[in-house]
Amino acid sequence: MVSIDDGNPPSTDAVVRVLAEPLRARIVELLADEQLCTCHLVELTGARQTNVSNHLRVLRDAGLVEPEPAGRYTYYRLRPDALDSVSARFAALADRARAAGQTRRSCT
């Protein structure tokens, strides 16, 4: 798995791979609205605590979420900058597709 130690956003490919798993994508969606701890994510997703914790580790290692200890709990927050580079890349692809319009390569 991709690990981000330098604080830079992860690559688009790394983010897409990590978010291809539906539960991880759901966790990211939930964290977009507010910081949540594991117990909240278990309640909201219906997944087991060990499963949620494992997915949070993958998201943390990929640089998509940051933990914040609060007493005996750890809250997680989404790193928006990690998604900014991905959204910019997909927006650029959409712009290229619009510009290409009906361009079609002919077969020989």
3-class secondary structure, 78: strand
| pLDDT tens for each residue of 47-87 | 999 999 999 999 999 999 999 999 999 999 999 988 888 89
| pLDDT tens for each residue of 15-30 | 899 999 999 999 999 9
- For the question of whether the overall pTM of this predicted structure is more than 0.85, the answer is no
List, in order of start, the domains of the chain with CATH numbers.
Answer: 12-100 (1.10.10.10)
- Give the list of residues 6+ apart from residue 53 with CB closer than 8 angstroms, or none: 38
